[in-house]
Chain A
Amino acid sequence: MTFATLRLRHGLMAAAVAVALVAAGPAWAWYLDPVTPVAHEVRTLFFKALALTGGFFILAEVLVLVAVLRFRARPGVPPATFHENVRLEILWTAIPAITLVILAGPTFTTLKYMETVPKSDLTVEVIGHQWFWEYRYPEHGVVFANEPLVVPQGKIIAADVSSIDVVHSWFVADFGVKMDANPGRVNHTWFEVERTGTFRGQCAELCGVLHGDMHIEVRVVTPEEFDRWIEQKKRGA
């Protein structure tokens, strides 16, 4: 079997796998479903990065493949002897550099957007413990642990994240939110969930034996339902 037929086979196999993946549906999903403005922005930035760097990536892989297939040693065909070309070298230094400058723009604006906590409608304090999460609603005097966090849909939630023992990290992928919970300091982040539902996350910083069991569940409800829920919680406490 020659290299070329091998490559061809690989190509066909890859295509078959790709078709199978699309047909297989959500089990083979490759990007999450963003539900906050920040997560949307992050996905847009990712697609921009993919578009800007993808060309270089494909060019490099194709050139390597073509070189290997085309320039095999053959009797009577001597190898080329060139070994420098200043113009080419300047070009392949400058073009990627310019591309990165272009990419730095949206990176900066997205960063600014996600790190500026807007005026919030609700503050929750998120406190990591080995191995569960404690949530506090200081404006309502509600405190609980080991239960889902409940927040209203379409409202700006400010989260103050910290820890009681080791470093944890509060991470809900669909929100585009990940904030380390450090003992001895409070980190600030925010999110605004666009639709109701239950969203799952998990502690993202190794925090000991049961790090893998430190799940996060966020229940996003309508503002009316939230008001009812918080009143009930207050009475219960």
Chain B
Amino acid sequence: MSGGSHAPSMTDAHAKPRTGISKWLFTTDHKLIGVMYVWLGFFFFAVGGLFALLLRTQLASPGLHVLKPEVYNQLMSLHGTFMIFFFTIPILAGLGNYIVPIQIGARDMAFPRVNAISFWLLIPAGLMMISSMFLQGGAAAGGWTSYPPLSDRQYSPGPGVDLWILGLHLAGLSSILGAINFVVTVTNLRAPGMTLWKIPMFCWAVFITQCIILFATPVLAGALTMLLTDRMFGTAFFLPSAGGDPVLWQHLFWFYSHPAVYIMVLPGMGMISQVLPVFASKRLFGYKGLVISTAGIGVIGFLVWGHHMFSTGIDPSLRFFFSLASMVIAVPTGVKIWSWIATIWGGSIRLRTPMLYAVGFIALFVIGGATGVWLALVPFDVQVHDTYFVVAHLHYVLFGGSLMAIFAGLYYWFPKISGRLYNEKLGQLHFWFTFIGMNLTFMPMHFMGILGMPRRIYTYQAQYASWNHVATLGSYVLGVGMLLFFVNMLWSLWKGPRATADPWEHIEATKTLEWTVTSPPPAENFATLPIIR
């Protein structure tokens, strides 16, 4: 299992180090590729975030005309698509790309060129999505879920949906190639002595996530291909008029998209498991339990897709099965939460920005977890399905969960990756804006949904006005917070004080390998491969 001899040597890069733009264009270095993923992710985060602010502005009061209905539907669809496929998944792949090889004591990913391909595939994918907005008929407007027949040619004739499908195809291919690379890397390239139970929790989380991608993403690719041939070549997989079944799309789509929730949240949980011990100066509690529960979530996650379809008229006994399976997921999730609390209990806590985000993550994710259990209960799910309650739930999981974790990890690894320190005061201010803005925006959505306000509507009945005022106000608070974040990061990249190898002063038990090398780490990471005792 020792990987030293397999570590790819980038001899050509050594012979003539590239500079300027070609350093980035032709690189196969996992660190540079990782950084490019992060930049790309934040570009789409900014665009998707601006879209969200426009949507919230349209919804500030009932009956506004900020956006036309067709524009509203396009921006709403692209907001979801960008945040999921072009921000969360790539940025997690980027941080994994940068950190995982170093944490396992490798010099690079197993297949550096494939790694570069994975990243570069996202550029044409993103361009397709963005360009579709400016073509006739505009971008895909059927939500990120694009249910047929609405997404069929008859009801969405323009090129928007075709570009959406092809863009997701490329993004999916990028994910699948990346997944193969991560799985092989973690399996084969670990430093001598790093047995299974010594793999850092973040690497475990990434490894399990990439296994999920490997099994789930091809199913999405298949479904997308079927939709494409329905649109282009006259097949009728999802067309009821010719004997097809639109509900089949929903099965295939959610077979991918429920596991996709874990693809987006498990790496973040890995980061939390890394950050909490560091800033509590205490070893991670229940490491093996955390690994097993992560794997458990990965497996059970494939058995619950039907909870997105409780109101489609699927078989009653199936509904009960999906309901039970969805409830079961709460158990391994609970194990994680209790273990994190036990980790910081009795520690010496330093409330720096990464720690604020990690603690904020627990506080918010618990809410998303509780509403997740309620949504598993079929009768209640039917009541609030496709309402703002679900919007609230998914944002507590993906914003309160994934995004808070991404910020925790980003602030934590910023000095390592950039070689500079960020501004701590601004970082903490960013946290408070995010935490307060997040709750102002999404907490009221629970009530709107229970009261019956459907999601994806461009305007609404007057009875929902008061909660919507609050949500829109909250979204502006979030917008200001994100500005603080971008200012902090850009300013610090340029002017921040230099970082030492270990600016966080890790205790021995929490110090993973990336903190033993310089900030940023040298080319090929390690002069001699570390040996894990």
CB pair A82 B285 closer than 8 Å: yes
B215 at the interface (CB under 8 A from A): no
Residue ID in chain B nearest A172 by CB atoms: B452
Known A27-B466, A71-B348, A108-B320; contact A83-B285, beta-carbon cutoff 8 A: yes
Known A93-B331, A167-B147; contact A202-B454, beta-carbon cutoff 8 A: yes
CB pair B245 A80 closer than 8 Å: no
A110 at the interface (CB under 8 A from B): yes
CB pair A78 B246 closer than 8 Å: no
Known A180-B311, A208-B150; contact A200-B240, beta-carbon cutoff 8 A: no
CB pair A78 B386 closer than 8 Å: no
Known A27-B466, A206-B143, A209-B73; contact A111-B282, beta-carbon cutoff 8 A: no
CB pair A42 B313 closer than 8 Å: no
Assembled-state Cα–Cα distance A201/B145 (Å): 23
A-binding segment of B83-91, B105-113, B377-385, B473-481 = B377-385
CB pair A32 B451 closer than 8 Å: yes
Measured between C-beta atoms, what is the minimum distance from B161 to chain A in Å? 13
Assembled-state Cα–Cα distance A73/B331 (Å): 32
Chain B residues near A201 (CB, 8 Å)?
Answer: 452
Assembled-state Cα–Cα distance A169/B377 (Å): 19
CB pair B452 A61 closer than 8 Å: no
CB pair B313 A63 closer than 8 Å: no
Assembled-state Cα–Cα distance A115/B507 (Å): 58
Chain A residues near B53 (CB, 8 Å)?
Answer: none
B47 at the interface (CB under 8 A from A): no
- Chain A positions 170 through 209: 1 when the CB is less than 8 Å from some CB of chain B, otherwise 0: 0111101011101111011000000000001111111111
A19 at the interface (CB under 8 A from B): no
B193 at the interface (CB under 8 A from A): no
CB pair B331 A89 closer than 8 Å: no
Chain B residues near A204 (CB, 8 Å)?
Answer: 311, 385-387, 454
Assembled-state Cα–Cα distance A185/B467 (Å): 37
A22 at the interface (CB under 8 A from B): no
Assembled-state Cα–Cα distance A83/B382 (Å): 42
Assembled-state Cα–Cα distance A107/B335 (Å): 24
CB pair B373 A49 closer than 8 Å: yes
CB pair B345 A71 closer than 8 Å: yes
Determine which of A60, A83, A114 lies in contact with B341 in the assembled complex, contact meaning CB atoms within 8 Å: A60
Chain B residues near A56 (CB, 8 Å)?
Answer: 334, 370
Measured between C-beta atoms, what is the minimum distance from A215 to chain B in Å? 8
Which residues from 227 to 257 on chain B have a C-beta closer than 8 Å to any C-beta of chain A?
Answer: 240-241, 245-247
A223 at the interface (CB under 8 A from B): no
A237 at the interface (CB under 8 A from B): no
B531 at the interface (CB under 8 A from A): no
Which residues from 283 to 330 on chain B have a C-beta closer than 8 Å to any C-beta of chain A?
Answer: 283-289, 311-313, 316, 319-320, 323-324, 327-328, 330
CB pair B452 A173 closer than 8 Å: yes
B171 at the interface (CB under 8 A from A): no
Chain B residues near A166 (CB, 8 Å)?
Answer: 147, 149-150, 155
Assembled-state Cα–Cα distance A67/B339 (Å): 13
B-binding segment of A97-105, A133-141, A147-155, A226-234 = A97-105
Assembled-state Cα–Cα distance A73/B286 (Å): 22
Determine which of A96, A110, A178 lies in contact with B334 in the assembled complex, contact meaning CB atoms within 8 Å: A96
Residue ID in chain B nearest A161 by CB atoms: B313
Assembled-state Cα–Cα distance A174/B451 (Å): 8
CB pair B331 A100 closer than 8 Å: yes
CB pair A49 B335 closer than 8 Å: no
B367 at the interface (CB under 8 A from A): yes
Determine which of B281, B338, B370, B461 lies in contact with A73 in the assembled complex, contact meaning CB atoms within 8 Å: B281
Measured between C-beta atoms, what is the minimum distance from A64 to chain B in Å? 5
B512 at the interface (CB under 8 A from A): no
A-binding segment of B358-366, B408-416, B514-522 = B358-366
B424 at the interface (CB under 8 A from A): no
CB pair A178 B320 closer than 8 Å: no
Determine which of A68, A79, A180, A184 lies in contact with B240 in the assembled complex, contact meaning CB atoms within 8 Å: A184
Which residues from 448 to 490 on chain B have a C-beta closer than 8 Å to any C-beta of chain A?
Answer: 450-452, 454, 456-461, 463, 465-467
Assembled-state Cα–Cα distance A73/B347 (Å): 8
Measured between C-beta atoms, what is the minimum distance from A135 to chain B in Å? 19
B337 at the interface (CB under 8 A from A): yes
CB pair A71 B346 closer than 8 Å: yes
CB pair B374 A53 closer than 8 Å: yes
Chain A residues near B143 (CB, 8 Å)?
Answer: 206
Assembled-state Cα–Cα distance A83/B285 (Å): 4
Chain B residues near A205 (CB, 8 Å)?
Answer: 147, 386
Measured between C-beta atoms, what is the minimum distance from A23 to chain B in Å? 13
B350 at the interface (CB under 8 A from A): yes
Which residues from 72 to 128 on chain B have a C-beta closer than 8 Å to any C-beta of chain A?
Answer: 72-73
Assembled-state Cα–Cα distance A169/B310 (Å): 12
Chain A residues near B378 (CB, 8 Å)?
Answer: 107, 110-111
B526 at the interface (CB under 8 A from A): no
Residue ID in chain B nearest A6 by CB atoms: B432
CB pair A178 B382 closer than 8 Å: yes
CB pair A61 B149 closer than 8 Å: no
Find the residue from B339, B343, B373, B460 having the highest chain A CB count within 10 A: B373
Assembled-state Cα–Cα distance A210/B347 (Å): 55
Chain A residues near B130 (CB, 8 Å)?
Answer: none
B199 at the interface (CB under 8 A from A): no
- Chain A positions 1 through 44: 1 when the CB is less than 8 Å from some CB of chain B, otherwise 0: 00100000000000000000000101111111000001101100
Assembled-state Cα–Cα distance A92/B335 (Å): 6
CB pair A79 B382 closer than 8 Å: no
A118 at the interface (CB under 8 A from B): no
Assembled-state Cα–Cα distance A183/B246 (Å): 8
CB pair B385 A80 closer than 8 Å: no
Assembled-state Cα–Cα distance A83/B155 (Å): 58
CB pair A68 B289 closer than 8 Å: no
Which residues from 60 to 89 on chain A have a C-beta closer than 8 Å to any C-beta of chain B?
Answer: 60-61, 63-64, 67-68, 71-74, 77-85, 88-89
Residue ID in chain A nearest B343 by CB atoms: A83
CB pair A178 B313 closer than 8 Å: no
B280 at the interface (CB under 8 A from A): yes
CB pair B379 A41 closer than 8 Å: yes
Assembled-state Cα–Cα distance A110/B328 (Å): 19
The 5 A-B pairs at the shortest CB distance, nearest first, are namely A173-B452, A184-B240, A80-B346, A212-B457, A187-B313
17 A/B residue pairs, CB under 8 Å, sorted by A: A45-B380, A46-B374, A49-B374, A53-B370, A73-B350, A74-B348, A82-B346, A83-B282, A100-B328, A111-B320, A171-B386, A173-B387, A174-B452, A182-B247, A182-B313, A201-B452, A212-B457
Extra contacts, 18 of them, besides A32-B450, A73-B281 (Cβ < 8 A), are: A30-B447, A49-B377, A57-B370, A68-B359, A80-B345, A81-B283, A85-B342, A89-B339, A107-B320, A107-B323, A110-B379, A172-B452, A180-B311, A182-B240, A183-B149, A183-B241, A205-B386, A211-B457
